[in-house]
């Protein structure tokens, strides 16, 4: 039976069916069909092994055998006796029956269990002369029987044995602990796997016995949740194939060994010393003491850990009686306050069995989803990160904090006028946004001179940039107008004020830095979507957040033409164009940049979308030097598509001399063009408003066509000089 494909059913708590369906597909299941509180699917024995070993959200795995009538005792006995029990249990084996449900005939679950047990014993004794015995603790075969009024009894084999949420690591149990599979679902829905792959950390400020901490560490490290268990229900079943099982376990152990290096720092705190002790024992039992830090700390003293931002995942206490619920409102209010004021840049997932307490957080959730803890409906609230105070560098190179003013009166004439302009712009762009499924775009760009700001939409967030007003403008007037903008945006766009990230843009001298100017080192990253792809952006550390909105049409063009081709991204920045090329089917990509930070960022963007390995190389080098060496060596790779998007000016300490685009561009274009395949295309773009292309200095035979207008989207039509772009090739024909 082990080699045959079977119809199976994996159960789960309600609200988790879609997560379970994804896991089953990854395990090799086919014909996956989500139902209520579980998923039906087909699989062979190897799928059974993978589900039991790797599923983080399943409760049990059942092999349905039959539905038998339960209208009368004789009919029930006969139907049970006709089932082929000899295919599943040795005559001298052991069994146990879990029976649920009653009707007018089967009035007690114990009576129903005895009927099933007797049928198995009688059939095997009749055919072999031997009879199995009962073992409630660890039987060879555990039978699952469920009676539903009007439908009969569903009979199946429990292949999981003990519930799959029991991982085997729990030494200590705290008060009202989360089931492990519910904790795993919370983390999945909160995006923890993607956050962890990008180096983000996790913090649980009310960790209890540590369930969220351990599930997060195992998830990040690709540790199969069943590896710590000694027994599964299928091990005494006649369909068990020990060879297949040993191979799958060996593979899982190797994955766990390889994944340990990917586990980020994880922090858990609790004010209860008994809970802290329990968490520490469980963490040690799970083998995660090197990655999980547990300590005693009151919620009032919650602080943001240094380094890259991540996820706060917390299951606050809840009261079952009204008086307890009222006392907990202050706890939820304190939690919301600490998330808003001390966890800048971190995303948060708050899971509560008392939805009426959620309003006390004082934070509007981005997503509110119902999950069930047994029969108890609970709410998972996903909160977006809060922006930190902005740090900018002035023309003299001195950094200063520029805080946004308090929002003004949303009913003031200026605020009303600005809100109306935002609505008008959104209406103008609406058809394009829906047709192209655009979620990141520029909504407003100093359309009205008195409101000199840019409003960029990044999914649920707003990136608001104030252009430094001229000296003749009264600073108080400028401050008032900015307050009106801040008041108008939430009203016009239906967002919370915390979703606005504010910066002031200044013109800088060439000596102040390069194209991508740093402001701070908070490392606060969130993910946004573009064309079905996901990208990490940072609203706090740089004026440029990591995804240039004006280049979206060019990225889309690259994606649409990169199938089966080799792509080179020069001055690759955060690798967004590389991700698009990879998503378009590029067989290989190379991204070159001098900045270690931006190459790491590019790598995280690639990983976030499932692209990794030798096919997607990241090269840290001066682009001009790398091009020259590649051409001069004569063994450089050739590329079908090249993107050359240099800064206007750069004086990095690692460069022999400052880079000046106007002076260097003919050499750069010439060198890059020599790495093109005969039918290849080179896109050259820059955002210098004073740039002039020196065509006479370009290599002879190189065809050039300006495509600036083709690469400006509807959201930048009011600013056609935001960038300029050319297409180069060694052939005249084609518009790739």
Summarised one tens digit per residue, pLDDT across range 5-31 is 999 999 999 999 999 999 999 999 999
Asked whether residue 518 carries a pLDDT value surpassing 50, the answer given is no
Amino acid 471: pLDDT: 66
Considering the chain, what is the average pLDDT of its residues?
88
CA distance linking residue 96 with residue 94, whole number of Å: 7
**How sure is the predictor about 405, in pLDDT bands with cuts at 50, 70 and 90?**
low
Nearest to 668 by CA among 627, 622, 610: 627
pLDDT of residue 167: 94
**Residues with Cβ within 8 Å of residue 131, at least 6 apart in sequence:** 91, 121, 124, 125
Which helix (H) or strand (E) is 158 found in, with range? strand 152-158
Report the pLDDT value the prediction gives residue 635, as an integer from 0 to 100.
65
Residue range 402-416: average pLDDT?
80
SS3 713: coil
Q: Quick one: residue 302, left, alpha or beta (phi over 0 = left, psi -120 to 50 = alpha)? A: beta
How far CA 736 is from CA of 559, 565, 637, 677, 702, in Å, comes to 11, 12, 21, 14, 15
What are the pLDDT digits (tens) for 416-459? 999 999 999 999 999 999 998 899 999 999 898 889 899 999 98
Strand-pairing partners, residue 11, are 38, 60
Share of the chain above pLDDT 90, in %: 65
**Mean pLDDT on 500-506:** 72
Give the pLDDT score at 649: 67
CA distance 413 to 406: 17
Q: Is pLDDT of 508 > 90?
A: no
Query: All domains of the chain, ordered by start, with CATH?
Result: 6-158 (3.30.2130.30), 180-222+261-383 (3.40.50.150), 390-512 (3.30.750.80), 548-729 (3.40.50.150)
From the CA atom positions of the chain, what is the Rg in Å? Answer: 31
What pLDDT score does 83 carry? 96
Of 161-165, 242-246, 402-406, the one with minimum mean pLDDT is 402-406
Report the C-alpha gap between 388 and 385 in whole angstroms: 9
Q: What is the pLDDT of residue 520?
A: 38
Residues 296 and 228 sit within 8 Å (Cβ to Cβ): no
Contacts of 634 (CB under 8 A, 6+ apart): none
Per DSSP, helices labelled H in 221-377 are 242-259, 273-285, 322-342
Task: Output the pLDDT for position 516.
Answer: 42
Contacts of 324 (CB under 8 A, 6+ apart): none
What pLDDT does 288 receive? 95
List of residues 6+ apart from 250 with CB closer than 8 A: none
Residue scoring higher pLDDT (657 or 655): 657
* Structure-model confidence comparison of residues 521 and 123, the more confident one: 123
Banded pLDDT at 391 (limits 50, 70, 90) = very low
Residues 550/725, Cβ–Cβ less than 8 Å: no
Judged against a pLDDT cut of 90, whether residue 215 lies above it is answered with: yes
Span of 66-70, 111-115, 503-507, 569-573 with lowest mean pLDDT: 503-507
Mean pLDDT score, 272-300: 93
Q: What is the mean pLDDT of residues 584-613?
A: 92
pLDDT value of position 541? 65
> Over 80: is that where the pLDDT of 580 sits?
yes
C-alpha dist (Å) from residue 452 to 308, 412, 466, 479: 32, 18, 6, 11
Higher pLDDT among residues 476 and 94, named by residue: 94
Record the pTM.
0.57
pLDDT, one tens digit per residue, over 167-193 is 988 887 766 678 999 999 999 999 999
Task: Identify the weakest region by mean pLDDT among 96-100, 468-472, 619-623.
Answer: 468-472
CA distances from 342 to 205, 301, 302, 673 (A): 12, 10, 7, 50
Measuring CA to CA, which residue among 226, 201, 227, 229 is closest to residue 216? 201
Q: Does residue 336 surpass a pLDDT of 50?
A: yes
Alpha-carbon separation of residue 467 from 478, 482, 716 (angstroms) = 10, 10, 17
Position 400 pLDDT exceeds 90: no
Write the CB contacts of 731 (distance below 8 Å, at least 6 apart in sequence): 678, 679, 703
Q: What pLDDT score was predicted for residue 398?
A: 38
Per-residue model confidence (pLDDT) at position 318: 78
Residue at token pair 């606050």: 316
pLDDT attached to residue 420 = 96
Q: In the chain, what percentage of residues exceed pLDDT 70?
A: 89
- What is the band of 539 on the pLDDT scale with cuts at 50, 70, 90? confident
233 dihedral zone (left: phi>0; alpha: psi -120 to 50; beta): alpha
pLDDT of residue 513: 39
């Amino acid at each position: 039976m082990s080699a045959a494909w079977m119809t199976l059913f994996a159960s789960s708590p309600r609200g988790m069916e879609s997560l379970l369906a994804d896991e089953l597909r990854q395990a090799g299941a086919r014909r996956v069909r989500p139902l209520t509180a579980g998923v039906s699917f087909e699989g062979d024995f190897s799928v059974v092994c993978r589900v039991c070993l790797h599923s983080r959200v399943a409760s049990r795995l059942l092999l349905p055998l039959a539905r038998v009538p339960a209208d009368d005792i004789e009919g029930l006995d006969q139907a049970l006796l006709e089932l082929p029990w000899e295919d599943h249990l040795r005559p001298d084996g052991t069994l146990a029956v879990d029976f649920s449900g009653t009707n007018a005939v089967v009035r007690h679950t114990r009576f129903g269990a005895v009927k099933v047990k007797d049928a198995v014993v009688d059939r095997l004794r009749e055919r072999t002369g031997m009879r199995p015995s009962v073992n409630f603790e660890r039987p060879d075969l555990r039978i699952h029987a469920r009676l539903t009024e009007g439908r009969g009894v569903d009979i199946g084999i429990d292949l999981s044995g003990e519930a799959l949420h029991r991982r085997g690591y729990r030494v200590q149990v705290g008060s009202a602990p989360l089931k492990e599979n519910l904790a795993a679902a919370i983390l999945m829905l909160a995006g923890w796997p993607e956050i962890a792959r990008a180096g983000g950390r996790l913090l649980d400020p009310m960790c209890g016995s540590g369930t969220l901490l351990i599930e997060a560490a195992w998830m990040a490290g690709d540790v199969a949740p069943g590896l710590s268990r000694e027994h599964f229900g299928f091990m005494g079943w006649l369909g068990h194939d020990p060879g297949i099982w040993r191979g799958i376990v060996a593979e899982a152990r190797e994955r766990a060994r390889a994944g340990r290096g990917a586990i980020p720092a994880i922090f858990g705190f609790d004010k209860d010393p008994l809970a802290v002790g329990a968490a520490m024992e469980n963490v040690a039992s799970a083998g995660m003491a090197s990655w999980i830090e547990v300590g005693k700390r009151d919620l009032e003293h919650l602080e943001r850990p240094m380094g890259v931002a991540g996820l706060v995942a917390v299951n606050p206490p809840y009261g079952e009686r009204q008086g307890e619920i009222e006392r907990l409102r202050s706890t939820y209010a304190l939690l919301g306050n600490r998330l808003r004021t001390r966890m800048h840049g971190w995303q948060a997932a708050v899971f509560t069995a008392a939805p009426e307490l959620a309003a006390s957080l004082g934070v509007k959730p981005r997503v509110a989803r119902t999950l069930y803890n047994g029969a108890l409906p609970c709410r998972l609230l996903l909160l977006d990160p809060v922006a930190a105070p902005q740090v900018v560098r002035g023309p003299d190179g001195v950094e200063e904090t520029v805080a946004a003013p308090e929002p003004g009166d949303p009913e003031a004439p200026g605020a009303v006028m600005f809100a109306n302009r935002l609505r008008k712009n959104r209406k103008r762009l609406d058809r394009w946004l829906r047709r192209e499924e655009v979620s990141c775009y520029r909504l407003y760009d100093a359309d009205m001179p008195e409101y000199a700001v840019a409003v960029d939409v990044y999914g649920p967030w707003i990136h608001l940039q104030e252009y430094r007003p001229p000296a003749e403008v009264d600073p108080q007037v400028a401050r008032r107008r900015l307050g009106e903008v801040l008041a108008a945006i939430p009203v016009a766009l239906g967002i919370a004020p915390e979703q606005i990230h504010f910066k002031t843009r200044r013109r800088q001298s060439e000596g102040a830095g390069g194209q991508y100017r740093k402001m701070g080192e908070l490392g606060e990253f969130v993910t946004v979507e573009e064309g079905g792809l996901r990208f990490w952006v940072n609203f706090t550390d740089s004026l440029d957040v990591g995804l240039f909105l004006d280049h979206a049409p060019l990225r889309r063009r690259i994606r649409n033409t990169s199938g089966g081709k080799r792509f080179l991204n020069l001055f690759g920045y955060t690798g967004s164009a590389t991700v698009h090329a990879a998503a378009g089917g590029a067989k290989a990509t190379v991204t070159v940049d001098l900045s270690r930070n931006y190459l790491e960022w590019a790598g995280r963007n690639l990983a976030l979308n499932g692209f990794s390995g030798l096919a997607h190389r990241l090269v840290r080098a001066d682009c001009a030097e790398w091009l020259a060496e590649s051409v001069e060596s004569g063994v450089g790779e050739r590329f079908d598509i090249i993107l050359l998007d240099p800064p206007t000016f750069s004086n990095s300490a690692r460069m022999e001399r400052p880079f000046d685009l106007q002076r260097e561009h003919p050499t750069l274009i010439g060198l890059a063009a020599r790495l093109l395949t005969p039918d290849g295309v080179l896109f050259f773009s820059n955002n210098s408003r004073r740039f002039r292309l020196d065509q006479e200095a370009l290599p002879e035979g190189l065809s050039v066509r300006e495509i600036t207008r083709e690469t400006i989207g509807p959201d930048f039509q009011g600013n056609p000089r935001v960038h300029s772009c050319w297409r180069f090739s060694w052939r005249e024909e084609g518009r790739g």
